[in-house]
A and B are shown apart, each in its own frame.
Chain A
Amino acid sequence: MKNIEELSKELGYSVFSMEEAGAIILDGYTSDLLSDVMGNASEDCALITIQAHKNTVAVASLIGIRAIILCNGRTPASDMVEAAAREKIALLGTEENQFTVSFRLAQALGKV
């Protein structure tokens, strides 16, 4: 089991917000359709996506997602960073694409 701080350091991702560094991540979910995230993602996972806007945080909070990893160098709007801090959801970013992040996160979590 790894927490958000350990994962962000291990994977080398930048941090836009991390209010609860010790929150444990159990799984990952990769999707760019928020309706799909709402229907299928599970709590305590990290969401891997390119949707860099505050609705992503609202959906994540609804489900209990603990971290959002923005791919392809997408940078969050300031209201997304504020919402993430308020909802205590970690907001990370990387130049890597969703495929690479999914693989590396799965590896870090011991799933592959």
Chain B
Amino acid sequence: MSRICIDLHNHSCLSPCGSDHLLPAILAVEAADCGIDILALTDHNSCRNLPAFAEACEIVGITGVFGLEVTTLEEIHVLTLFEKLEDALAFGSWIESILPKVPNAARLFGNQLICDVSGTVIGESELFLYGPAEITFDDLIYKTIGAGGLGIPAHIDRPANSVTANLGFLPDLPYSAVESIAIPPIVDTRLYPVTQGSDAHYIEHIGRRRCFIESEVTGFSALRDAFVHSKITYLGHSSEHF
């Protein structure tokens, strides 16, 4: 049984609200330095920096998880995470195809930079990536699970863009886990496994929140295993159900 440090919520310079300096490779290098073993990149509604992130994770020797933070029709943020880069790319392309056809106003919302592993900017996403995608919260959870991914409502204790704030309750759905900023959570998590992630938007945010899982297996399978058995612990807190 090994103790694995995970951080499943991070942005890069592709997210309009993410710093232009937060390159996918910098995320991977800094997170590895923080001792994170399994790291996800979850830009808003786009997967275009995942190839660079995948390469960077391989170079630094950590397990990359390939994801997006999808905005649903109800403007709820959900982490959708995949083991394989190609599955995430396919899912991400579909999400982009159902975003409003609104161009980004970079001055107001921020740049949306696509870069390679060395940090060279190779493009910019012209579509405004903040969403919402044309899919309901319930449907997104089912689609994600159906596509072999993990579906995790993000920051459920936040007053904006969270399932708790926008719906008023946590519907009974097959979430892989739920993400809370505060531990112990300040909202009812209804016995779903709870993760804590950095939600890094700036380099200095990398590794600011993380949690630990215990599993006999390694890699992405360890996430599934730990969530099913609720084997999650937190900095300064013992293992417990919330």
**Which A residues are closer than 8 A to B by beta carbons?**
33-35, 38-39, 51-53, 55, 58, 61-62, 87
Contacts and interface: CB of A to CB of B under 8 A. Distances in A.
A51 B75 CA distance: 12
A112 B74 CA distance: 31
A34 B108 contact: no
Contacts of A33: 74-75
Interface of B: 17, 74-75, 100, 102, 105, 108-109, 130-132, 159-160
B108 A62 contact: yes
A86 B105 CA distance: 16
A35 B105 contact: no
B100 A35 contact: yes
A34 B75 contact: yes
Q: Taking chain B's interface residues, is the majority helix, strand, or loop, or is none over half, making it mixed?
A: loop
B57 to A, nearest CB: 30
Main secondary structure of the interface of A (DSSP, over half): helix
Contact of A61 (B17, B100, B108, B160): B108
A38 B74 CA distance: 14
Given A35-B75, A52-B159, 15 more contacts: A33-B75, A35-B132, A38-B102, A39-B100, A51-B160, A52-B160, A53-B160, A55-B17, A55-B109, A55-B130, A55-B160, A58-B105, A58-B108, A58-B109, A87-B108
A35 B132 CA distance: 7
Contacts of A38: 100, 102
Contacts of B100: 35, 38-39
B92 to A, nearest CB: 19
15 contacts: A34-B75, A35-B75, A35-B100, A35-B131, A38-B102, A39-B100, A51-B160, A55-B17, A55-B109, A55-B130, A58-B105, A61-B108, A62-B105, A62-B108, A87-B108
A88 B206 CA distance: 33
